[in-house]
Amino acid sequence: MRILRYVGKRLIFIVPQLFGIILVSFLLVKMIPGDPAVLMLGPFATEEQLAKLRAEMGIEGTVLDQFWIYLKNLVQGDLGTSWQTTQPVLLDLFQRFPATLELITISLFLALAIGIPLGVAAAYFKRSMVKKFSDYYGLLAGALPDFWLGLVLIFFFYTLLGWAPAPLGRLDIAIIPPTPHTNFLIIDSLIEGNWQALWSALGRLILPVVTLGLINAGPILKMTQSTMERMLESDFIRYADTCGLPRSVVIRRALRNSLPSIVTIVSVLYGFLIGGAVLVEIVFSWGGAGQYAVQGVLNADINPVLGFVLFSAIFSLVIYLIVDLIYFAIDPRIRS
């Protein structure tokens, strides 16, 4: 019951939160110099042509007028059109957001699979090689740029060894893509039983996932290690030792108490990576949401940028809601 009330409250607040985010990002985007009408029609367009186009695009009048127009369209599910792709932004985002989500979700699972065990081991065995290794690992993961690591991986595994597929998008062009139900390639090809597409998609995922996974395991490792260290020093873990509980029980208890911090860092990384993976997306020609937004910014294509911000905001709010629910499940002190 409590939890339902809590979720209800959170959902009510989502609307004003989104409004605030849209308002702020709208104003910020409007500050980017450049007139899309000029960019679209070229240097030889007449004033009349320009004015007509601006009216069509809803970019005439004051900024607030424009915001009002944007909001009205938004309520009807119209995020405007991108003049670069000449498609509705909503459609573009439905294609590109899943591409990014697929990539970063799998990457985060890899990062968790590396970070948590290493962090736990480094915290428990204080004077071991594992601890030294994880210290260096954390340092390196923090210092290396992800796109650089991606390029190195491409050089070794594609250029030199030829083990990995070409870094040219999510699917081999020679393969017929599955019908886009969800636009998550893995899910779509599973739905259709298109094993060829599935195989190709998975193959193409390997290098970018490894890139992002290795880099993002760093913060997860560090957070796990430091929280675990604190937990292992805590009174109740010391008391569990005093009671002679087996090592496995002691570690499990410490890890469970560390979970809230780990969940928090993962949620932060998740939200960040939607846009933060953009360099890796570019390196692998991924065609993801971040790439789409950056193109928009560079070409004064406002609607994709706003659409991207809106999508990311909704995604982040959903993630934070899920995080809160996880806290709820883990910690009885929050429940009561």
Site string for another protein, 16-55 (x = CB under 8 A): ----------------------------------------
Q: Does 325 contact another protein by CB under 8 A?
A: no
How far is it, in rounded angstroms, from Cα 225 to Cα 220?
8
> Of the listed pieces 32-40, 115-123, 217-225, 247-255, which binds another protein according to CB under 8 A?
247-255
From the CB of 18, what's the least distance to another protein, in Å? 25
CB neighbours of 282 closer than 8 A, spacing ≥ 6? Answer: 147, 291
> Of the listed pieces 66-74, 146-154, 174-182, 328-336, which binds another protein according to CB under 8 A?
328-336
Q: Does 245 contact another protein by CB under 8 A?
A: yes
Q: Does 332 contact another protein by CB under 8 A?
A: yes
Q: Which of 176, 241, 298, 318 binds another protein (CB under 8 A)?
A: 241
From the CB of 225, what's the least distance to another protein, in Å? 17
**Helix-helix angle 302-330:247-276, to 10 degrees:** 170
How far is it, in rounded angstroms, from Cα 54 to Cα 282?
31
From the CB of 335, what's the least distance to another protein, in Å? 9
- DSSP calls for 242-296: HTT--HHHHHHHHHHHHHHHHHHHHHHHHHHHHHHTHHHHHHTT---HHHHHHHH
> Of the listed pieces 38-46, 217-225, 238-246, 261-269, which binds another protein according to CB under 8 A?
238-246
Q: How many other C-beta atoms can be found within 10 angstroms of the C-beta atom of residue 327?
A: 16
From the CB of 109, what's the least distance to another protein, in Å? 24
Q: Output 83 or 124, the one with its CB closest to another protein.
A: 124
The first and second tokens of residue 313, run together, are 């905001």
From the CB of 318, what's the least distance to another protein, in Å? 24
Q: Does 163 contact another protein by CB under 8 A?
A: no
Q: Does 249 contact another protein by CB under 8 A?
A: yes
How far is it, in rounded angstroms, from Cα 256 to Cα 241?
16
From the CB of 320, what's the least distance to another protein, in Å? 20
Q: Could you tell me if residue 76 is left (phi over 0), alpha (psi between -120 and 50 degrees) or otherwise beta?
A: alpha
The first and second tokens of residue 224, run together, are 């796990």
How far is it, in rounded angstroms, from Cα 241 to Cα 232?
10
Site string for another protein, 273-312 (x = CB under 8 A): ----------------------------------------
Q: How many other C-beta atoms can be found within 10 angstroms of the C-beta atom of residue 49?
A: 14
From the CB of 275, what's the least distance to another protein, in Å? 34
Q: Which of 43, 62, 86, 235 binds another protein (CB under 8 A)?
A: 235
User: Would you say 198 and 220 are in contact if contact means Cβ atoms under 8 Å apart?
Assistant: no
Q: Output 189 or 257, the one with its CB closest to another protein.
A: 257
Q: Does 240 contact another protein by CB under 8 A?
A: yes
The first and second tokens of residue 121, run together, are 């081991």
Q: Does 313 contact another protein by CB under 8 A?
A: no
Taking Cα atoms as reference points, which of 327, 322, 330, 336 lies closest to residue 7? 322
| Chain contacts with another protein (rule: CB under 8 A) | 234-236, 238-247, 249, 253, 256-257, 330-333, 336
